[in-house]
Amino acid sequence: MPSVSPSLSAAMAQAATAVTETMECILPKSDFAEQKLFDAMRYSVLAGGKRLRPFLLLSTAQIYGVDEDCALRAAAALECVHCYSLVHDDLPAMDDSELRRGQPTTHIRFDEATAILAGDALLTIAFEILSDPRTHEDPKIRCALVASLARASGANGMVGGQMLDLIAEDTNFDIGAITRLQRMKTGELIACATEMGGLLGKASPQHLNALRAYAHDLGLAFQIIDDLLDAEGTAEETGKPVGRDEEAGKATFVTILGHDRARQQAKLLCEQATQHLSLFDGRAKNLEEVARFVVDRKA
Amino acid sequence: MPSVSPSLSAAMAQAATAVTETMECILPKSDFAEQKLFDAMRYSVLAGGKRLRPFLLLSTAQIYGVDEDCALRAAAALECVHCYSLVHDDLPAMDDSELRRGQPTTHIRFDEATAILAGDALLTIAFEILSDPRTHEDPKIRCALVASLARASGANGMVGGQMLDLIAEDTNFDIGAITRLQRMKTGELIACATEMGGLLGKASPQHLNALRAYAHDLGLAFQIIDDLLDAEGTAEETGKPVGRDEEAGKATFVTILGHDRARQQAKLLCEQATQHLSLFDGRAKNLEEVARFVVDRKA
């Protein structure tokens, strides 16, 4: 199996550092009595992670020569939404996870009420960031960014997918239902990453469609690999508890397709993802490489 | 004690109906497996309530002759945020309330996970509504609406105030700290209502300042009366459990000032609120009347 190219890991690490620094700057601190809320917000986003969505956004924005500071602000907003979703997802009433990226989850490190509020505040600040003229000088673009993020993360996107994920524990979902679930739960926000990058660069509708199609294939592949890691990996490798899907008796790509066909399907999806990028004539190198990275990742 | 004027109650009832109908139209339904999420969202906002914030927004927009459909969309977005905050506030990890407006709270009627997600989705859709051209044709105004709502409802506004409210249970807050808490927890969103009305009408900075000052005084008076109702009212009158502040040993305006001085202070604030409206030369009749209603309300 080929390993991730050194240039991609370097680019991803650089982007992760830049977006973390941007969030560090944007996220407010406080000396007031409510300091705990701000601490919990910062804890929830600054802990790390691959920063895949910011990387996709930044890589797409680069194709169009978008100002890097603007793209970083949009990427920070997107990552705030991703992180809030993890905080709420980990809550006792939801997935009840105590570990995330090898660290205590927000409600364990702080408490449940603080975790709920920190998630709410992270979701809210994302839209404050996007509506700010520093994110893009054109208010029409800023509105398009807000609309894109709200649609991707709301009831018809990520939150709807999380609802389906909870329902999946008690329902016998077939492969079609699981594909729809994952498309909503993780796919929409990944597609939003490339869409926001394109919107910042005033991409044509044709480009935006290609970017979305790429990201949806990539997102599905990403999820299949996630399921495989949950089924095959160890907590040390992945930084979070494993084997939880099987424990919950939950249908996943792996339980339905089996390990080999699931991995095959992920590879196929990544090849298909790359094909959507053909109209960029090689100017979307980072996005192409990410499609390879997704299949090979170990965590 | 003077009762609420018939014209104000009629105007408030009419506005409440209009904004409820608007939310009914905007909030998506679903026949898919995630239907429960949509049901919970609708349950959380359509149950009723005074719709005070929408009324303030609509009344302010009227001063500037804003198109009513646009103002109703903005009012619906604002009310979605208010309702989401109630859903999350009622959760077991927060206030642990089983009753709201005489009805089971969302996590009681559905379940905790669904209530968390319904709240998240309501917050998200608010920004989707505001970024939509149907809310205002000028994208600069739409961005200003998004920024206003995000600031008012985030960590430096409502959510920060909720954090303070939780901390208040274990801390001896003085009158200054409680005023700041309430200014953030309820005042900012009430001020946002008049601000959004003004923004829709392209109000001058001077007007926006007056509208915010009015609303902050009104909001504080509203909260003092809330504390009085909690201390003096019955569950039948208020539609929610009473005496909970005292039970929790929480400092409120009433425990610190006493009943009489608290009521006096509320009256004073409402008079002061009305004075901020003097630059409207009588064109803000509804807002003036609301200031009288707030002191006299029984629920």
What pLDDT, on a 0 to 100 scale, did the predictor assign at position B32? 84
- Smallest Cβ–Cβ distance between A121 and the set B113, B147, B159 belongs to B159
Instruction: Give mean pLDDT, residues B144-173.
Output: 95
Domain residue spans in chain B?
6-296
Residue A125 has its nearest CB partner, among B143, B155, B180, at: B155
User: Any idea how long chain A is?
Assistant: 299
pLDDT score, position B118: 98
pLDDT at B94 over 60: yes
User: What integer pLDDT is reported at residue B1 of this predicted model?
Assistant: 38
pLDDT along chain A (299 residues), means of 10: 72 96 91 91 91 97 98 98 98 94 95 98 98 98 98 97 92 91 96 98 98 97 91 72 71 90 95 96 95 82
H or E element, residue A99: strand A99-100
Give the closest residue to A82 by CA, choosing from A156, A153, A10. Answer: A153
What distances in angstroms separate CA A50 from CA A42, A196, A214, A240, A274, one per listed residue? 16, 19, 19, 14, 20
Percent of chain B with pLDDT over 90: 78
Q: What percent of chain A stands above pLDDT 90?
A: 78
C-alpha dihedral sign at B45, B47, B52, B58: positive
pLDDT at B282 over 90: yes
What's the ipTM?
Answer: 0.94
Pair A66, A201: CB distance under 8 Å: yes
Structure tokens that stand for B267 in this block: 């009256």
**CATH superfamily placement of domain A6-296:** Farnesyl Diphosphate Synthase (1.10.600.10)
* Closest Cα in chain A to B117: A159
Cβ distance B124 to A150 less than 8 Å, yes or no, reads: yes
Chain A residue closest in CA terms to B91: A113
- Distance between CA A291 and CA B80 in Å, rounded? 38
Among A30, A117, A123, beta carbon nearest to B162: A117
Summarize the confidence of residues B58-63 as an average pLDDT.
98
Cβ <8 Å between B143 and A139: yes
Tell me, what's the pLDDT at B5?
A: 76
Average pLDDT score over chain A: 93
B97: CB partners within 8 A, 6+ apart? B89, B90, B105, B240, B241
The residue behind tokens 């997704």 is: A294
pLDDT of residue B201: 98
Which residues on B lie below 8 Å from A95 (Cβ)?
none
- Contact between residue A145 and residue A199 where contact means Cβ atoms under 8 Å apart: yes
Burial, B252: exposed, middle or buried (Cβ in 10 Å; 0-12, 13-18, 19+)?
buried
> CA separation (Å) from A276 to A61, A62, A148, A207, A291?
17, 18, 20, 10, 11
- A and B: number of Cβ contacts within 8 A: 165
